[in-house]
Amino acid sequence: MSTEIIPPSELSKFLSFYDSHKQETWDEETSFLQLLAWIEDRQTTQKMQERICQPGEIILREDEPGDVFYVIRSGNAVIIKGDIQTATVLGFRGMGDALGEMALLENLPRSATVIALNLVSLWSLSRAMFYQFLGENHPSFSLDLMNMLSSRIRKSDEERRRGYTREKEQVVALETLSRQATHDPLTGLFNRRYLDQILYGEIAHARQNGSLVGILMADVDHFKKINDTYGHKAGDLMLQAVGDLMKSCVRSADIVCRYGGEEFVIVMPGASAPTVSKCAEEIRSKFQSLHVKFEDQEIYATISLGGAIYPLHGSNVDEVFVHADRAMYQAKQNGRNRVVIFPIESASKNIE
């Protein structure tokens, strides 16, 4: 049998887990201790096979076949699920505990990986030898031992379920952290950090394929007045309404971001100037008709939007973004509640 030892750093990690959980032991251990004592008493005549495992040695590996049943003579072991580096710890075993009983009784592959935490001595029993012991021993002991094995299987199933639950919780936590890093918590839209991450990639992709990218910038008109008049809670409701409205007006490929405050940016891959203009006008028109309910009042506002198209209005991200911002500013200067697409001739002059 080839010996496989895990890296010292991984062993140290499992030992740390063990130190904080070693108080957790099986409540029902009498039968296995009796079996251990029986083996110790008969090992000279029965020619029992002892296995010595070094610290960090893999005793059993998940999914491997096997009909060997181990009883721990001394030492401690950890039971894990999954890869060594990202494993979920299911539990620990010590003197008198059994290893491999599920594979023995159910004739299934190993359900988990078992690793020696320190120097571990094991008695090894084959399937045939195990049932021989049951036949030679008193029936009441055999019944107790089989009941104990069944109980261990149920508890192992519970350990696996707890392990899977912990894994799911970890996945949810990571997904939550990932979402917090890329989404605005108030509106649920992508945030400025995400916009900075994807915008250069969208422009590079368009440059490579000879396609267009539309950029829309939007700003809620007189938003400060809403906050001053009705309070920030009302302002938050208004921003949420803007976000929901924008998502309902854009295409599935478009990316809606809250840029900051009452400003929003929409990235529209493959969109021509007429497509960008049509989308902006739909948002403007619908938002003008939208009334947000707050307490016993209805609040309404308007929105100004400016658009620019790569490469018509700039040869790189910064130029197109600046021109979209200037177009939005022009919409404000022209009286607000309107859409302005940056003119191609102005872009040409700026490039020259």
- Extents of the domains making up the chain: 8-178, 192-351
Q: Where are the alpha helices (DSSP H) in the chain?
A: 8-21, 30-46, 101-106, 127-136, 139-182, 192-209, 223-230, 232-249, 273-288, 317-333, 344-351
Q: What CA–CA distance (Å, rounded) separates 36 from 272?
A: 79
So which residues are the catalytic ones? Answer: 262
Instruction: Assess contact for 209 and 201: CB atoms under 8 A.
Output: no
Q: Is the peptide bond before 55 cis (omega within 30 degrees of 0)?
A: no
Half-sphere exposure of 169 (CA within 13 A, CB side): 7
Q: What CA–CA distance (Å, rounded) separates 55 from 77?
A: 9
Three-state DSSP class for residue 289: coil
Q: What is the pLDDT of residue 41?
A: 65
Q: What is the pTM of this model?
A: 0.54
CATH architecture of residue range(s) 192-351: 2-Layer Sandwich (3.30)
Q: Is 296 exposed, middle or buried (0-12, 13-18, 19+ CB in 10 A)?
A: exposed
* Contacts of residue 312, Cβ cutoff 8 Å, sequence gap at least 6: 212, 273, 344, 347
Q: What is the pLDDT of residue 308?
A: 97
Token pair for 335 = 């009286």
For the stretch 244-299, pLDDT in tens is: 999 999 999 999 999 999 999 999 999 999 999 999 999 999 999 999 999 889 99
Q: Are strands 113-116 and 58-60 parallel, antiparallel or unpaired?
A: antiparallel
Regions of the chain with pLDDT less than 70: 1, 20-48, 102-106, 130-175, 177-178, 344-352
CB atoms within 10 A of CB 238: 23
Q: What CA–CA distance (Å, rounded) separates 13 from 352?
A: 62
Q: What CA–CA distance (Å, rounded) separates 46 from 139?
A: 20
Three-state DSSP class for residue 194: helix
For the stretch 208-247, pLDDT in tens is: 999 999 999 999 999 999 999 999 999 999 999 999 999 9
Instruction: Assess contact for 320 and 266: CB atoms under 8 A.
Output: no
Which one, of 33, 125, 118, lies nearest residue 78 by Cα?
A: 118
Q: Cα-flanking dihedrals φ and ψ of residue 126, to 5°?
A: -80, 170
Same fold, 8-178 and 192-351: no
Token pair for 231 = 């309070």
Class of domain 8-178: mainly beta
Token pair for 46 = 């029965």
